[in-house]
Structure 1
Amino acid sequence: MKSFKFLAMSAMIGSALMLGACGSDSANESAENNNGGNAEEAAQLEGDVKIDGSSTVAPIAEAINEEYAATQRDVQVSIGVSGSGGGFEKFIAGETDLSNASRPIKEEEITALEDADIDFTEFEVAKDGLSIVVNKENDWAEDMTVEDLKKLWVENGSVKKWSDINPEWPEEEVKFYSPGTDSGTYDYFNEVILEEADIVKENITMSEDDNVLVQGVTGDKNAIGFFGYAYYLANKDELKVVKIGGVEPTNETIESGEYTPLSRPLYVYAKNSALKEDEAVYDYMKFTLENAGEMAEAVGYVSLPEEKYEEQMKTLEELK
């Protein structure tokens, strides 16, 4: 199984080759490309940028940071992965500058930020298709409906079996692998599939680390799990993705919205005061918007239309 650090670094190599700007002067040329002038003329910054939040957004953030480090070696960027909810907790506490999220901010979180006198701006960086996956040896669950998923995942006081969905399926207990409750992926699944009902209590493993979920599903023939599209792509040789209503998650079906209701936007929330007062934070956010589309595609997500990034760049510039 590939780790995302390896995947991100591999993507950087491929990206650099496609750009055709590699070689012994790649760091200087990267600085020129991203700062609009010669490397010698580019403003070299110092500082710290603190980020936490969604594990789904993390691969994009890590890929962006690999590129950014070549242009601003003295800016130290830390990327934590405590889930969207955990990231917002740190954001509200004033511990981070940017908060990655795989779901929109909640009303209670907005209220908490207001109480803490923290103004923020929401930036959308990519699109994801929450992927339902089963073990490679599972030769029965090819296609499921939203109602099938509800029957499986909503707690009803009984141990769930595959035959509960289809009598022709095995009378074997289903083993569930879900993101933890601090995860934006869990929140999204809870909203569109569980509809706020309790998730199953038997035979379930929950983790904020999507790699734990991947390992669980690959190790059990009767397992089912869900996580971001990029984690499926990184492990597609070891997993089988389930169609939902006859539609498989792909770049095309996610971008078009055909893969419904599991297509969703991915976000970075930025603290306005940090953008205005800390040149390193502003520069990093600017670099993120300039490169999010390419990096999202490199690690397995779907980029936004270029106009969307341009609109958000104007928003960022107005904040400055």
Structure 2
Amino acid sequence: MTPLQDTARFLVHARDPQEQASSFGLLEQSYEQLSPGRFSGSFFAVSANDITVFQETLDQSVFQTGVSDPGHFTIATACELSEQAYWNGRHIDQDTVVAFTPGREFELRTPTHAVCVGISLAPSALQSLAPERSPEHWQKIFADHDCWSQADRLKGALQRRIAQLLQADAGTAADWADELLGLRELTIDYLGSVIERGDNGAHKLRVDSYPRIAKRARAAMLERLHEPLSVTDLCLQLGCSRRSLQYAFESIYGQNPVAYLRTLRLAAARRLLTSGNPDVTVQDVAGTVGFNHLPRFAQAYAQMYGERPSESLAAHAPRTGRRPAG
């Protein structure tokens, strides 16, 4: 067995959804905060060569979209969930494992409290399941079968070893490598048993078209953030009924279409306010994301993120000594 090198360990405490999203470099992803209040999250990871184990904690509901890294195969499961989550067309719970297959798009909604653990491997590691099969074969298997039940065996091992790694001294890199090698072998054995069992423990949405409707509606909203947009407008553009649109959003985003449109607008506003651009003003941002009434925008923003727009702008402004107005 090849010894592991380039061992690294890091811990991030985030106060912004996008800061949290960028902390895991193996997923190109974006986080939209859905529940109101100050964001709080953390991300801990230990890696060596092509193995990474991680634990993520979120204390606000977020909708995650992104693409998995082409060079890694990642699986994750929840240790704590305040309620059901959503994953690629299905509702999932703490007994579910999800697979981020290389280069594939994903959608994940987590509730107001979630603690997840996971492991990332090189796709070539899956070849030991059957050496005559290519890594692409296993990627296709898990792309078609990207969630399943009975997480306890893997979850228990990940939880125990991640807890040990969190408490480990910085000088014990050799011990970290041994732990990671052990987890890699356990994970591959576990995936072999999943393939043999061939089950799927997630709860499929009642209507197959809901993910498609919600995805198209979200794209339309993002294109028209700056202009007035009603449920009627969306239904006419998508060619769907109001009831279908409503059920699709409740199932996938946990919000009705009007509330989710506001979430998207506020998320876009936060990205602009925290961009560090010295020319940005609160009033300009409000108009850019479709809020024509500045006090109403300020109130909605503060309710969502726990701080005023001017506070977000000031916290990320270039250090010129000038304070932003608004």
TM-score range for the pair, normalised by the shorter chain length: under 0.3
Higher relative contact order (Cα pairs below 8 Å, separated by 6+ residues):
1
What's the TM-score, normalizing by structure 2?
A: 0.26
